[in-house]
């Protein structure tokens, strides 16, 4: 597997791969971004911004230095071959999963979540996906493509069944998407999500546009009316009892983030996700 080693790792992610319990993987896919491209620059921007944070979190009372995290760099992806790029991500993830390490994916556009599900379902047949997002992403096709950031959750539903998806924070979608979500029962509140996910392996995908544009304007498709940063962390804390086996953060677009407000929010969010969900020893 070809990985491009980054000039700077994510904060405190300095453990050797063979001794690590969690692995940061950059997935700079930016092939189907339709409104504001630039997500391919996000993994390195997030790494750079993370060094402006402390390893210790007042919010969780935990410290990144207490974990064994490896930053594996970025997967070299062919932007003109979407399926080929997805297969490369899936292949590397399967290697990480077989080694019983916790995958942390830095997008990149949201389509990378499809690779994660394709990899995880082979090892966790009872997988449930929790999506934090402004958009339903349930279109059958978008601009003639069935593989798109706008269709990713429909493709995941094709694999898992819509009943195995919980969508939180959704505030935008076509009439057909919202009807499909209601039929599948994927639109959920936190209590229902906790009940459905109890005892099951969970993959968490976080589209940064779940945050309000006042908090994170530098995203691929900003949508007014979103969560504050504190509301998002509170939501994550409410999910912290779940058996999360990996997560991604996607859709940051650094070219639209001139003040670096969005990338700092992304880096801090990732720190909190790591501290809430990463195991101290081996994958749960």
DSSP string computed for 235-273: HHHHTTTSEEEEEEEE-B-GGG-TTSHHHHHHHHHHHHH
Contact (Cβ atoms closer than 8 angstroms) between residue 140 and residue 180: no
Q: Is 100 left (phi over 0), alpha (psi -120 to 50) or beta?
A: left
Average pLDDT, integer, range 126-143: 97
Percentage of the chain lying above the pLDDT 70 cut: 95
- How many percent of the chain have pLDDT more than 90? 91
Packed helices 112-120 and 82-98: angle between N→C axes, nearest 10 degrees: 40
What's the whole-number mean pLDDT along residues 95-109? 98
267 pLDDT exceeds 70?
yes
Question: Could you confirm whether domain 3-277 is CATH 3.40.50.10890?
Answer: no
- Pairing mode of beta strands 56-57, 62-63: antiparallel
Whether the CB-CB separation of 21 and 101 falls below 8 Å is answered with yes
Q: What backbone phi and psi angles, to 5 degrees, belong to 48?
A: -60, -45
pLDDT, mean of residues 100-126: 98
SS3 145: strand
The residue-averaged pLDDT of 175-191 equals 97
Nearest Cα to 225, choosing from 262, 182, 170?
170
Contacts of 259 (CB under 8 A, 6+ apart): none
Residue 166 has pLDDT above 50, yes or no: yes
The pLDDT, as a whole number, for residue 281 is 57
Domain ranges of the chain: 3-277
Q: Please give the Cα distance from 149 to 109 (Å, whole number).
A: 6
pLDDT number for residue 49: 98
Q: What is the mean pLDDT of the chain?
A: 95
- Express each pLDDT in 7-54 by its tens digit: 689 999 999 999 999 999 999 999 877 667 899 999 999 999 999 999
- Note the pLDDT tens digit of each residue in 46-85: 999 999 999 999 999 999 999 999 999 999 999 889 999 9
């Amino acid at each position: 597997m070809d990985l491009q080693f980054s000039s700077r790792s994510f904060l405190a992610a300095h453990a050797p791969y063979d001794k690590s319990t969690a692995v940061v993987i950059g997935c700079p896919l930016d092939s189907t971004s339709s409104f504001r491209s630039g997500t391919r620059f996000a993994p390195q921007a997030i790494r750079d911004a993370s060094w402006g944070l402390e390893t210790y979190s007042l919010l969780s009372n935990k410290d990144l230095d207490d974990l064994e995290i490896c930053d594996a760099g970025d997967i070299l992806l062919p932007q003109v071959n979407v399926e080929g790029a997805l297969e490369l991500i899936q292949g590397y993830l399967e290697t990480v999963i077989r080694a019983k390490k916790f995958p942390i994916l830095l997008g990149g556009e949201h389509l990378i979540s499809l690779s994660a599900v394709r990899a995880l379902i082979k090892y966790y047949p009872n997988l449930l996906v929790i999506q934090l997002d402004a958009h339903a992403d349930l279109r059958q096709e978008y601009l003639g493509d069935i593989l798109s950031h706008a269709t990713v959750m429909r493709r995941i539903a094709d694999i898992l069944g819509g009943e195995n998806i919980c969508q939180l924070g959704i505030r935008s979608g076509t009439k057909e998407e919202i009807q499909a979500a209601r039929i599948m029962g994927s639109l959920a509140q936190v209590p229902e999500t906790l009940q459905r996910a109890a005892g099951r392996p969970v993959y968490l995908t976080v589209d940064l546009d779940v945050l309000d544009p006042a908090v994170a304007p530098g995203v691929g498709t900003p949508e007014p009316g979103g969560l504050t940063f504190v509301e998002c962390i509170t939501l994550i804390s409410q999910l912290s009892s779940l058996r999360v086996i990996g997560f991604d953060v996607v859709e940051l677009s650094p070219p639209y983030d001139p003040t670096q407000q969005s990338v700092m929010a992304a880096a801090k969010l990732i720190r909190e996700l790591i501290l809430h969900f990463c195991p101290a020893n081996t994958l749960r």
